Structure 1
Amino acid sequence: MQAGLDPGARIVDETVAEALFRSELSAWFSRRLAEGAIENDPIVVLAEEIPLKVVDLIRELAMLRREHPEAAPIPPLQSVRPDIVFAQAVDDFFRWQTSIDNDNCLRGIAHELRRLSARYVRVFDSAPDFATLWRLCDAGPCRLFAKGLQLKSYVDAAELFGAHPGESGSEAAIRHYQMAADAWNELIGHIASLLVCILSSSLDLLLESYEGRKRAAAVLDFDDLLLHVRSLVRRHEEVRRAIGRRYKYILVDEFQDTDRIQSEILFSIAATDDRVERWEDRRLRPGSLFLVGDPKQAIYRFRGADIEIYELCRRLIGAQDGGAVIEVTANFRSQKAIIRHVNSCFETVFGKTGQPRYVALAPTIADGSYPTPCVARFTIQVVTEGRIYAEMFREAEAEKVADICSRLIGNVLIRRADDSLSPLQPGDIALVSPGHTELWRYERALEQRNLAVSSQAGQSLMRRQETQDILALLRVLADSSDTLAFGALMRGPLVGLSDQQLLDITAGLPEMNGRPHFFSVRTNPSTIQHPVAKAILISLQDLRRRAAISTPSLILAEAIERLNVRVILAARHRNRNARALANLDALIERARGYGIAGLRPFVRDLQAEWERKVRAPEGRVDAAEHAIEIVTIHKAKGLEWPVVIPINSTTELYRPDQFVHRQSDNTLHWMVGGVAPPDLAAARAEESREDANQRERIWYVACTRARDLLILPHIPQAAKDSWFTSIDLRHGELPELDVSGFPESYQRQATAHENKQSSDIFAAEQGRVSESAPTVVWRRPSDHDRDRLADPIDTVVVADSLAEQMEVVGGGALRGIVLHKMMEEFLTGGLEAQERPVASRADELLAQLLTDADEREIRPDATEMARCALRTLGLPEIAEMRPFLLPEMTIWGSEDGVLIAGRADALAIREGHVEVAIDWKSDITPSSTVRNRYASQLSDYLKATGAKRGMLVFMSLGEIVWVENPASSLARRPEEDGIIHEARPL
Structure 2
Amino acid sequence: MSAPEASRADLDQRPAPVDEDQRQRVRTELRTSFLVEAGAGSGKTTLLVERMVALVESGETEVARIAAVTFTRKAAAELRERFQVALERRYREARPDPAEGERAARLRDAIDGVDRAFLGTIHAFCARLLRERPIEAGLDPEFQEAQEAETQLLQERFWTSFVERIISDSDPLVEELAGAGLRVDQLRKAFDQMVENLDVEYPADPVAAPGPEEARGVRRVLEKLLDRALALMPDDEPERGWDATQQMVRSLRYTRRFRGWDDLAALFDAAEKMSSRKGFTLNRWPQPTPEGSAEVKRLRDELAVLGSEDGPIRKHLDRWLAHRYSMAIRLVRRAAIEFAEERLRIGLLSFHDLLMLTAQLLREHPEVRRDLGERYRYVLIDEFQDTDPIQAELLFLLASEPEPRAGDAGPRPADWHTVVPRPGALFVVGDPKQSIYRFRRADIAVYNQVRARFKEFGAVLRLITNFRSRQTVADLVNDVFDDPARFPREETDRQACFAPMVPYPRAPNGPEGVFHYQVPKARRNADAARLEAAMLASWIRARLDSGERTAGDFLVLTRKKAHLDAYARALEERNVTIEVSGAQAGPEEELRELVLLLETLIDPGNPVNVVAVLTGLFFGLDHEQLAQHALAGGRFDITSSPRDRDRDEDGSGGDTPAREVAEAIATLHEWWKESRREPADIVIGRLVDRLGLMPFVASSTLGTLRAGIMAYALDSVRAEALRGNASLAGAVEALQAALEWEDAEAPFDPGHGDAVRVMNLHKAKGLQATVVVLANPAQTVSHTRRLDAHTRRGAKGGAEAFAAVTAPAGPFSSWTLAQPLDWSALAQEEVRFLEAEEQRILYVACTRAREELVVARKHGKSCWGIFDGWLDRNAKALQLAADVPRSRERMARSAEDLLAETVAAEAGMAEGARPSYEFASITELAKAGEEEMGEADGAADADEAVAQDMVKPRTEDGGAEPVRGEDAATEPAQSDDPATPTLRDRTTLRGYAWGSAVHGTLAAAAQGVEGEALEFVARALLVEHERPLDERGAPAELVELMSMVGRVRASELWRRAERADMRQPEVPFAVELPAENGGIPRLVEGVIDLAFREADGWVIVDYKTDVGDDPDFPARRRTYRRQVDLYAECWEQVTGEPVKEKALLFTTMEKEERW
Q: Shorter-chain TM-score: what band?
A: 0.5 to 0.7
- Which of 945, 950, 971 aligns to 2:1142? It is 971
Q: Secondary structure at the match of 1:326?
A: strand
- Which of 555, 578, 583 aligns to 2:704? It is 578
- Partner amino acid for 1:828? A
Tell me what 1:419 maps to: none
1:376 and 2:519 aligned: no
- Partner amino acid for 2:394? I
Mapping for residues 223-622 of structure 1, pairs under 5 Å: 223-272=352-401, 274=403, 278-320=415-457, 323-348=458-483, 349-351=486-488, 353=492, 354-366=494-506, 368=508, 374-382=513-521, 388-411=523-546, 423-461=548-586, 463=588, 465-475=589-599, 478-481=602-605, 523=641, 547=675, 552-553=680-681, 555-570=683-698, 572-573=699-700, 576-592=702-718, 594-595=720-721, 596-602=724-730, 604-605=732-733, 617-620=744-747, 622=750
- Distance, in Å, in 2 between the alignment partners of 1:729 and 1:66 is 44
Q: Label 1:505 to 1:64 Cα distance change in 2 as closer, same or farther (>3 A).
A: same
In the TM superposition, residue 343 of structure 1 has moved relative to its aligned partner by 1.3
Could you report, residue by residue, the CA deviation over 1:255-298 in whole angstroms, capped at 9, with x for unpaired residues? 11212222122222222564695322222322222111111111
Q: Secondary structure at the match of 1:406?
A: helix
- Distance, in Å, in 2 between the alignment partners of 1:469 and 1:356 is 49
Mapping for residues 101-180 of structure 1, pairs under 5 Å: 138=264, 141=267
In the TM superposition, residue 240 of structure 1 has moved relative to its aligned partner by 2.1
1:706 and 2:878 aligned: no
Number of aligned residue pairs: 815
Mapping for residues 540-939 of structure 1, pairs under 5 Å: 547=675, 552-553=680-681, 555-570=683-698, 572-573=699-700, 576-592=702-718, 594-595=720-721, 596-602=724-730, 604-605=732-733, 617-620=744-747, 622=750, 624=752, 627-653=755-781, 656-657=785-786, 659-662=788-791, 664=793, 665-671=799-805, 674-718=817-861, 723-724=863-864, 730-735=870-875, 737-739=877-879, 774-775=916-917, 777=919, 799=970, 827-828=1019-1020, 838-839=1030-1031, 870=1036, 873-874=1039-1040, 877-878=1043-1044, 880=1046, 894=1070, 897-898=1082-1083, 928=1111
- Distance, in Å, in 2 between the alignment partners of 1:678 and 1:744 is 58
Q: Label 1:43 to 1:340 Cα distance change in 2 as closer, same or farther (>3 A).
A: farther
In the TM superposition, residue 687 of structure 1 has moved relative to its aligned partner by 2.5
In the TM superposition, residue 19 of structure 1 has moved relative to its aligned partner by 3.0
Q: Label 1:592 to 1:64 Cα distance change in 2 as closer, same or farther (>3 A).
A: farther
Could you report, residue by residue, the CA deviation over 1:193-212 in whole angstroms, capped at 9, with x for unpaired residues? 4323432453255235424x
Contact 1:873-1:879 within 8 A present in 2 as well = no
Identity of aligned residues (%): 19
Contact 1:334-1:708 within 8 A present in 2 as well = yes
Bigger mean CA offset, 541-550 vs 277-286 = 541-550
- Which of 192, 197, 200 aligns to 1:63? It is 192
Contact 1:330-1:363 within 8 A present in 2 as well = yes
- Partner amino acid for 2:144? R
Contact 1:226-1:262 within 8 A present in 2 as well = yes
Contact 1:475-1:603 within 8 A present in 2 as well = no
Contact 1:333-1:707 within 8 A present in 2 as well = yes
- Distance, in Å, in 2 between the alignment partners of 1:743 and 1:208 is 55
Q: Secondary structure at the match of 1:279?
A: coil
In the TM superposition, residue 660 of structure 1 has moved relative to its aligned partner by 1.8
- Distance, in Å, in 2 between the alignment partners of 1:908 and 1:59 is 63
Contact 1:299-1:634 within 8 A present in 2 as well = yes
Tell me what 1:38 maps to: 170
- Distance, in Å, in 2 between the alignment partners of 1:696 and 1:473 is 48
Bigger mean CA offset, 265-274 vs 535-544 = 535-544
In the TM superposition, residue 602 of structure 1 has moved relative to its aligned partner by 4.4
Q: Secondary structure at the match of 2:583?
A: coil
Contact 1:429-1:641 within 8 A present in 2 as well = yes
Contact 2:209-2:323 within 8 A present in 1 as well = no
Bigger mean CA offset, 343-352 vs 782-791 = 782-791
- Distance, in Å, in 2 between the alignment partners of 1:839 and 1:976 is 27
Contact 2:378-2:399 within 8 A present in 1 as well = yes
TM (norm. structure 2) is: 0.58
In the TM superposition, residue 356 of structure 1 has moved relative to its aligned partner by 0.6
Contact 2:717-2:735 within 8 A present in 1 as well = no
Contact 1:15-1:593 within 8 A present in 2 as well = no
Contact 2:363-2:415 within 8 A present in 1 as well = no
- Distance, in Å, in 1 between the alignment partners of 2:190 and 2:1117 is 56
- Distance, in Å, in 2 between the alignment partners of 1:946 and 1:190 is 81
- Distance, in Å, in 1 between the alignment partners of 2:441 and 2:1125 is 50
- Which of 12, 18, 32 aligns to 2:152? It is 18
- Distance, in Å, in 2 between the alignment partners of 1:935 and 1:536 is 61
In the TM superposition, residue 331 of structure 1 has moved relative to its aligned partner by 1.3
Q: Label 1:557 to 1:432 Cα distance change in 2 as closer, same or farther (>3 A).
A: farther
Q: Secondary structure at the match of 1:358?
A: coil
Could you report, residue by residue, the CA deviation over 1:933-976 in whole angstroms, capped at 9, with x for unpaired residues? 7997999899999999xxxxxxxxxxxxxxxxxx9864347899
Contact 1:917-1:941 within 8 A present in 2 as well = no
Contact 1:253-1:291 within 8 A present in 2 as well = yes
- Distance, in Å, in 1 between the alignment partners of 2:324 and 2:925 is 62
Question: Is there any run of 5+ residues in structure 2 with no aligned partner, and where?
Answer: 1-134, 226-260, 278-294, 299-308, 406-413, 648-652, 794-798, 807-815, 935-941, 951-968, 974-981, 999-1014, 1051-1064, 1074-1081, 1093-1098, 1132-1137
Contact 1:432-1:632 within 8 A present in 2 as well = yes
1:188 and 2:354 aligned: no
Tell me what 1:220 maps to: 349
- Partner amino acid for 1:298? S
Contact 2:481-2:843 within 8 A present in 1 as well = yes
Could you report, residue by residue, the CA deviation over 1:478-498 in whole angstroms, capped at 9, with x for unpaired residues? 45446666676677666x677
Contact 1:377-1:734 within 8 A present in 2 as well = no
- Distance, in Å, in 2 between the alignment partners of 1:83 and 1:301 is 34
Contact 2:393-2:416 within 8 A present in 1 as well = yes
- Distance, in Å, in 1 between the alignment partners of 2:761 and 2:541 is 22
Q: What is the RMSD computed on CA atoms of the aligned residues? A: 6.3
Contact 2:388-2:443 within 8 A present in 1 as well = yes
Contact 1:8-1:218 within 8 A present in 2 as well = yes
Q: Secondary structure at the match of 1:41?
A: helix
